[in-house]
Amino acid sequence: MSKRQRSEWRLGWLLCAPAVTALMLITAYPILYAVWLSMFRYDLRFPDERVFIGLDNYLSILTSEVWWRALGNTVIITAGSVSVELLLGFPLALIMHRTLFWRRAVRATTLVPYAIITVVAALAWKFAFDPTTGFVNGLLGLEHAWLTQRWSAFFVIILTEVWKTTPFMALLLLAGLTLIPNDLIQAARVDGANAWQRFTKVIVPVMKPAILVALLFRTLDAFRIFDTVFVQTRGAQDTESISVLGYNTLIVRLNLGLGSAVSVLIFIGVLIIAVVFVKGFGTPLVRRQGD
């Protein structure tokens, strides 16, 4: 090994060391610590009664109705918001890509939801649907307390998520759209394909990697949903998501043992989603990262 090469290695490690150290200390170490804590009966209100109990916390979570309901709610919110976002993201991306005028203005305004704090967006929609302050009931001539019923609360939560994150989905799809060579679409047009056929037979297959990446990012993000649910219902009306459940167990009830087990289960859930997308659907996640 040449001296030059060795100094390059050393510089490379030196430059990466601070970032790697931070990632180790603030994410890798705490998750291992969470695994460790999850094997104790450990309630901060009674810290002296800390006892090692192995996998008992997992057993009590996985046999409790609360966990499965929260997981079910999270799946409902995730599936609902991600599918609507994909449906709306396509037309939005097409408008950003093809519109004849105001293109700059349209692209700029789509970033507005992204720039708004999630808590603020959640409150804005909460007030909008509120029976006393809101304009929605006035507009629709209804007297409905949206956030006091399970399914209408889900509707408001999903609407908020969709509003906030569809632009992000659209931007990822737009990046895929711009990669499609115009010749390809022209050729399909010459061959007599109509707009729908061009979309399903040419655009979607070429965009498949971009679609999968967008879906993966948004699914993982929606699966971790906390802010919107916390602000709009605090998990009432059986809308609690698993992140809200974890927060309530850890920070509100101060049950570190049980709460850490919830955290570890959420972590495993995220891993499963990522593996299914990358291995199952062949999402090209790191294709260009290494070069």
Partner 1 sequence: MRNNSLERAFWAMGNIVVIAYAMVPVIWILSLSLKRSADLNDQRFFPHTISFEHYRTIFADAQFPAALWNSIGIASVSTVFAVILGMFAAYAIVRLQFPGRRLILAGALATAMFPPVAIIGPLFNLWRATGLFDTWAGLILPYMTFTLPLAIWTLAAFFREIPWDLDKAARIDGATPMQAFIKVIAPLAAPGVFTAAILVFIFAWNDFLFAASLTSTNDARTVPAAIAFFTGSSRFELPAGSIAAASVVVTVPVMIVVLIFQRRIVSGLTSGAVKG
Residues 82-141 that bind partner 1 (CB under 8 A): 91-92, 95-96, 98-102, 104-121, 123-125, 127-128, 130, 132-135, 137-139
Is 173:96 a contact under the CB 8 Å cutoff? no
Give the span between the Cα atoms of 196 and 41, in whole angstroms. Answer: 58
Cβ proximity to partner 1, 176 vs 235, nearer residue: 176
Cβ proximity to partner 1, 121 vs 203, nearer residue: 121
Cβ proximity to partner 1, 27 vs 200, nearer residue: 27
Identify residue 16 by its one-letter amino acid code: C
Q: How far is the CB of 192 from partner 1 (least distance, A)?
A: 19
Give the span between the Cα atoms of 129 and 156, in whole angstroms. Answer: 8
Q: Which of 40, 223, 235, 240 binds partner 1 (CB under 8 A)?
A: 223
CA distances from 104 to 3, 98, 180, 188, 285 (A): 51, 12, 21, 29, 29
Is 81:224 a contact under the CB 8 Å cutoff? no
Q: How far is the CB of 74 from partner 1 (least distance, A)?
A: 11
Give the span between the Cα atoms of 151 and 80, in whole angstroms. Answer: 12
Written as six digits, the tokens of 281 are 């659907």
SS3 at position 243: helix
Q: Which of 5, 63, 182, 194 binds partner 1 (CB under 8 A)?
A: 5
* Binding of partner 1 by 276 (CB under 8 A): no
Stretch that binds partner 1, among 54-62, 160-168, 186-194, 197-205 (CB under 8 A): 160-168
Interface pattern 236-265 for partner 1 (x via CB under 8 A):
------xx--xx--xx----x--xx--xx-
Q: How far is the CB of 131 from partner 1 (least distance, A)?
A: 9
Q: How many residues bind partner 1 (CB under 8 A)?
A: 107
Site for partner 1 in 182-211 (CB under 8 A): 209-210
Give the span between the Cα atoms of 247 and 49, in whole angstroms. Answer: 22
Interface pattern 11-30 for partner 1 (x via CB under 8 A):
xxx-xx-xxx-xx-xxx-xx
Stretch that binds partner 1, among 9-17, 54-62, 75-83, 191-199 (CB under 8 A): 9-17
Give buried/exposed letters for 173-201 (b at 16+ CB in 10 A, else e).
bbebbeebeeeebeebeeeebeeeebbee
Q: Which of 9, 46, 52, 151 binds partner 1 (CB under 8 A)?
A: 9
User: What are residue 255's DSSP bridge partners?
Assistant: 43
Is 194:84 a contact under the CB 8 Å cutoff? no
Q: How far is the CB of 144 from partner 1 (least distance, A)?
A: 13
Interface pattern 42-61 for partner 1 (x via CB under 8 A):
--x-----------------
Q: What DSSP character marks residue 48?
A: G
Is 286:278 a contact under the CB 8 Å cutoff? no
* Number of Cβ atoms within 10 Å of the Cβ of 75: 15
Q: How far is the CB of 134 from partner 1 (least distance, A)?
A: 7
